C-alpha cells in the first residue's frame, strides 16, 4: 500500500508508460464540474491546474479568458498537454507545490485521488498556501471508503463523504461551499461512485 509520501511511484510509472493512450482517451469534452467552478471566479483569475492530463480543462479555461498554470506530475503527460495547448506545461508532483498566495483558484479534477491518505492533509495544506485569501479549490475522488489499487495497479484513496469533509477540515482553514456524491466513469471503463468538494480559503 502507498505510504506517507505525497505520491505513489507505481501510479506515476503507469501514467508515464501509458501517456499516449491515456491522453487520447480523454481528448474530447471537459469536466462536468468545470463551468460551475469557473462561475465562482472573476474573468482573468489565475488558476493552478493540478494533474492537467492531456490539457482539455486547461484548454477550456484558457479559452474562457483565465490565466492558467497547467501542471502534471508525469513529464510524459505534461509534454502531451504542452503540445495541445501550445504553451509551457510544468511537470510538477503534488509534493513540489511551493507557491505562496499566488493563485485565485486551484483546479484538481480527478488528480488528488492518487495521493496516499496519510499524505493528503500535507498536500491540501500546500494548496491552501498557494491560494490567495478567499481563493477557491475544487477536487473530486473515487468513493468507496477503503484505499486500494485498480486493475492497472494505480493507487486510489477511495474516500467517502465523511472522510472527505474531515480531511479538508483538518488540513487548513477551508470553508466548504459544496460537497456531494455522484456517479461517474473513469479510464478503466464502467460507472461508479465519486465524491466532489469545492472549498474556499478563509
pLDDT tens digit string along 123-167?
A: 999 999 999 999 999 999 999 878 999 889 999 999 999 999 999
> Comparing C-alpha atoms, which of 40, 39, 82, 76 is closest to residue 58?
82
What is the CA 36 to chain-centroid distance, rounded? 16
Using CA atoms, how far apart are residues 140 and 142, in angstroms rounded to an integer? 7
> What is the pTM for the complete model shown?
0.91
Tell me the fold of 9-201: Rossmann fold (3.40.50)
Task: Give me the pLDDT at residue 191, please.
Answer: 82
Please state, in angstroms and rounded to a whole number, the distance separating the CA atoms of residues 150 and 128: 29
pLDDT tens, position by position, 171-197? 999 999 999 999 987 666 668 999 999
Nearest alpha carbon to residue 171 among 197, 143, 148? 197
Identify the pLDDT of residue 17.
Answer: 86
Q: Which three cell numbers stand for residue 172?
A: 487548513
pLDDT in tens, 55-101: 999 999 999 999 999 999 999 999 999 999 999 999 999 999 999 99
Amino acid at each position: 500500500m502507498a505510504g506517507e509520501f505525497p505520491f505513489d511511484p507505481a501510479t506515476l510509472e503507469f501514467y508515464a508508460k501509458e501517456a499516449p493512450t491515456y491522453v487520447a482517451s480523454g481528448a474530447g469534452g471537459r469536466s462536468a464540474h468545470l463551468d460551475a467552478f469557473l462561475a465562482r471566479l472573476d474573468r482573468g483569475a489565475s488558476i493552478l491546474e493540478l494533474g492537467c492530463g492531456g490539457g482539455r480543462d486547461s484548454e477550456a479555461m484558457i479559452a474562457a479568458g483565465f490565466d492558467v498554470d497547467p501542471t502534471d506530475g508525469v513529464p510524459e503527460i505534461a509534454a502531451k498537454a504542452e503540445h495541445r495547448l501550445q504553451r509551457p506545461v510544468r511537470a510538477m508532483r503534488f509534493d513540489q507545490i511551493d507557491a505562496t498566495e499566488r493563485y485565485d483558484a486551484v483546479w484538481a479534477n480527478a488528480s488528488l485521488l492518487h495521493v496516499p491518505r496519510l499524505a493528503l492533509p500535507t498536500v491540501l495544506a500546500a494548496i491552501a498556501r498557494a491560494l490567495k485569501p478567499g481563493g477557491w479549490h475544487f477536487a473530486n475522488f473515487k468513493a468507496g471508503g477503503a484505499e486500494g489499487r485498480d486493475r492497472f495497479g494505480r493507487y486510489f484513496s477511495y474516500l467517502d463523504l465523511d472522510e472527505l469533509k474531515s480531511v479538508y477540515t483538518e488540513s487548513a482553514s477551508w470553508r466548504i461551499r459544496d460537497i456531494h456524491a455522484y456517479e461517474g466513469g473513469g479510464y478503466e471503463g464502467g460507472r461508479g461512485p465519486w465524491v466532489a468538494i469545492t472549498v474556499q480559503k478563509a
